[in-house]
Structure 1
Amino acid sequence: MLAAHDLGELTPTAELVAGELLANSHCHTKGPYSLRVLSPHPGRLRVAVWDTDPRVPPAFSADVDKDAVPPPDTEGGRGLHLVRACADEVGVSVLRELGASKGGKLLWADCGGGVAW
C-alpha cells in the first residue's frame, strides 16, 4: 500500500511503529483503539493510534529522557522507546472533549526524511 504512494521505503519503520503503538494501547488501556496512517507531506508518513485513555505514557511525556532505556531485566517498557528511536518526531494529543473522538489520546510518530532503517 505504501509503495503505491511512493512511500515503500518507509514500510519497515511504519510497521514497527504501528505494531508498538497498537500493542501499547492493547496492553495498557481499556476500550477501543484505532490506527490512523496519513502522509502530511511528500515523503513523510504519520502513524498514529487513538485510544480512550487520556493518560500520556511516560515515554511520550515532554520531560522524558529520550536516551533512557529500561533496565535489561524488565519484561516491558521498551516499545515506546523503540518508537522514539525509529521516528523523526513523536507527539501526543490529549482529546478532552467527548463526542466523535470519544476523548482519550492520539499518540503519533512521523517517519521519513532522515529515518535510517
Structure 2
Amino acid sequence: MPEPEAWEYSLYIPNDIRAVPVCRRLIRLVLTVHGLIHLADLAELLGAELVSNAVRHTKGPAALRVRWRDGTLRVGAWDADPEPPHFPGGFTAVPPTEGEDGRGLLVVRTCSDLWGWQPLSRFGNRGKYVWCELSAA
C-alpha cells in the first residue's frame, strides 16, 4: 500500500467535557479514511487524554489537531491557557495511584513515541499546544 500523502485536520471545540467523545470519533474516522486504522485505538486514547486535559483544566475554547506527515501521526490539543501542562509532583514524579487525576500525561508520555508542548501566540490569541506522535511502524 502506498504511503499516504500529508494531511491535517483541526476541530475547534467548546470548553465542555462532552467534546471528548466527539474528538475520539473524529480521530478514528480520519484514520480509517486515510488507511491508518492500525493507529486508531492508541491515537484515540492519547487524543482523548489531551483534549480532556484541555477542557478540564482550562477555561475557554480548545481544539483538536490530527496531522500525518512523513510516516508520523501527530495528535494534539490547543487550549487558551499559556501555562505549561501540569504533572502532579513534577514531570519526573510517579503519579498518585488513588483518585482520578494525575495520570493522563503519564499515559501520553508512556504510550507515544514523542510528546511535548509549546506556548502559542497567534493573531492575538494566547495558549498552548500539547501534542504527541506515533510512528506508523
Aligning the two structures, in what range does the TM-score lie when normalised by the shorter sequence? Answer: 0.7 to 0.9
RMSD: 1.8
Match of 1:103 in 2: 126
**Secondary structure, in 3 states, of the residue corresponding to 1:45?**
strand
**Secondary structure, in 3 states, of the residue corresponding to 1:76?**
coil
| Higher RCO (CA-CA < 8 Å; seq separation 6+) | 1
Q: 2:46 aligns with which of 17, 23, 29?
A: 17
Q: In the alignment, residue 48 of structure 1 is paired with which amino acid?
A: G
Q: Percent identity?
A: 42
Answer yes or no: is the 8 Å Cα contact 2:80–2:127 preserved in 1: yes
Q: 2:78 aligns with which of 47, 50, 62?
A: 50
TM-score, normalization by structure 2: 0.70
Any gaps of 5 or more consecutive residues in structure 2? 1-29
Answer yes or no: is the 8 Å Cα contact 2:73–2:136 preserved in 1: no
Match of 1:33 in 2: 62
Q: Give the Cα–Cα distance (whole angstroms) in 2 for the partners of residues 94 and 104 of structure 1.
A: 6
Answer yes or no: is the 8 Å Cα contact 2:65–2:77 preserved in 1: yes
**Secondary structure, in 3 states, of the residue corresponding to 1:50?**
strand
Q: Which runs of 4+ in 1 moved over 6 A?
A: none
**Secondary structure, in 3 states, of the residue corresponding to 1:39?**
strand
Q: Give the Cα–Cα distance (whole angstroms) in 1 for the partners of residues 33 and 63 of structure 2.
A: 23
Match of 1:64 in 2: 91
- Residue 3 of structure 1 and its aligned partner are, at CA, apart by 2.8
- Residue 113 of structure 1 and its aligned partner are, at CA, apart by 4.2
Structure number with the higher strand fraction is 2
Q: In the alignment, residue 11 of structure 1 is paired with which amino acid?
A: A
Any gaps of 5 or more consecutive residues in structure 1? none
Answer yes or no: is the 8 Å Cα contact 2:31–2:40 preserved in 1: yes
Q: 1:84 aligns with which of 109, 120, 136?
A: 109
